[in-house]
Amino acid sequence: MLKYIGRRLMHLIPVILLISILLFGIIKMTPGDPVGANLDPRSTAEQKAAERARLGLDKPIPVQYWEWLKRSVKGDFGDSYIYKVPVSKVVPGFIWNSFVLNVFVYIFAFLIAVPIGIITAVKQYSRTDNFWSAFSIIGISMPTFFFGLLLIYFFAVKLDLFPINGMRTVGSKATGLANIKDVLYHMVLPGIVLIIANLASLVRYTRTSMLEVINQDYIRTARSKGLEEKVVIYRHAFRNALIPIITIVGFTIPVLFSGAVMLETVFNWPGIGRILIDAVNLRDYNLMMALNMFFAILTLLGNLLADIGYALVDPRIKVD
């Protein structure tokens, strides 16, 4: 297993390099110029040229990429044009904010969705199955930003039960347990939106995966041997139905850190999704590259962890 992991990590190096080249080229082809965001609109052509030279934007794109790569290998991702500080100091705090919101949501969603998916598969076409099937369709179809606005209108504006937006109370200097309570209080509405959206899809995936397994011959054989239904479902069927679920877990890992752009915008949550939008709008090349490379690496690592998970739950899959 360790040899397989080491070999896969080595194979990721050229993939990451190719991704960085493509991302750098795409970002440089986007219309707009960060010089306009840093200077007064009345700046002269000479001032704009001087600013471009200072930022290194007057050099050919291959040269700019090579300089970016040399810095990035050393952990220097350049300065953010928006925040006027190194990117390495901008990203961690926002990523943590997104992680705090998403990790609780996904853990809660998985703990609920997997048992429900198993029950709906075992009781196919029952009232329980019909209810959760309808719930899944509605949850998947409803845009998160629209659902978020509905919650804000009813629970924040009309009933005044929860804050409208933000991560903490404005002006609050709470620390310790009081700060945690404040963050959790602000997390309720965006958390509900994310839980319902993810619960809908996870229930659907789990149900479909279980239905494919419980109709197999070896499940009927296990039942004919007189095994208890719980043993048949949870020890035989569910373990073989884990492959698609593990795939979803692998895709979830980068989402934990990347945030939800639309939802963070609606609830004014200071997560990484919001600063990515700001970076795109203001052409903050260094911040865009750092964030996109971070998401790309997380996606590759998520795929690796999913492959390892396949081998752990299915002995037929070899990773030597």
Share of the chain above pLDDT 90, in %: 10
How does pLDDT run across 210-237, given as a tens digit for each residue?
Answer: 888 888 888 888 888 888 888 888 887 8
> What pLDDT does 268 receive?
84
Three-state DSSP class for 279?
A: helix
CB 237 within 8 A of CB 210: yes
The DSSP element (H or E) to which 82 belongs, if any, is: none
> What pLDDT does 65 receive?
92
| One-character DSSP codes across 159-182 | S--S-SS-SS-TT----HHHHHHH
> What pLDDT does 285 receive?
85
> What pLDDT does 14 receive?
92
Q: What distance in Å separates the CA atoms of residue 6 and residue 171, rounded to the nearest whole number?
A: 48
The rounded mean pLDDT for the chain is: 84
Q: What is the DSSP letter of 79?
A: B
211: tokens are: 């239905």
- Under the banding of pLDDT at 50, 70 and 90, the label for residue 16 is very high
User: Hey, what domains does the chain have and what are their CATH numbers?
Assistant: 2-73 (no CATH), 90-313 (1.10.3720.10)
In the chain, the amino acid numbered 34 is: P
How does pLDDT run across 171-224, given as a tens digit for each residue?
Answer: 777 778 888 888 888 889 998 988 888 888 889 888 988 888 888 888 888 888
Q: What distance in Å separates the CA atoms of residue 58 and residue 66, rounded to the nearest whole number?
A: 14
How much is the CA Rg of the chain, to the nearest whole Å? Answer: 24
> What pLDDT does 259 receive?
62
Q: What distance in Å separates the CA atoms of residue 157 and residue 163, rounded to the nearest whole number?
A: 9
How does pLDDT run across 73-119, given as a tens digit for each residue?
Answer: 888 888 888 888 888 888 887 888 888 888 888 888 888 988 999 99
244-271 mean pLDDT: 78
> What pLDDT does 23 receive?
92
How does pLDDT run across 31-65, given as a tens digit for each residue?
Answer: 777 776 666 667 777 877 887 787 777 888 899 89
> What pLDDT does 127 receive?
92
Residue 19 has pLDDT above 90, yes or no: yes
How does pLDDT run across 117-134, given as a tens digit for each residue?
Answer: 999 998 888 999 999 989
> What pLDDT does 318 receive?
65
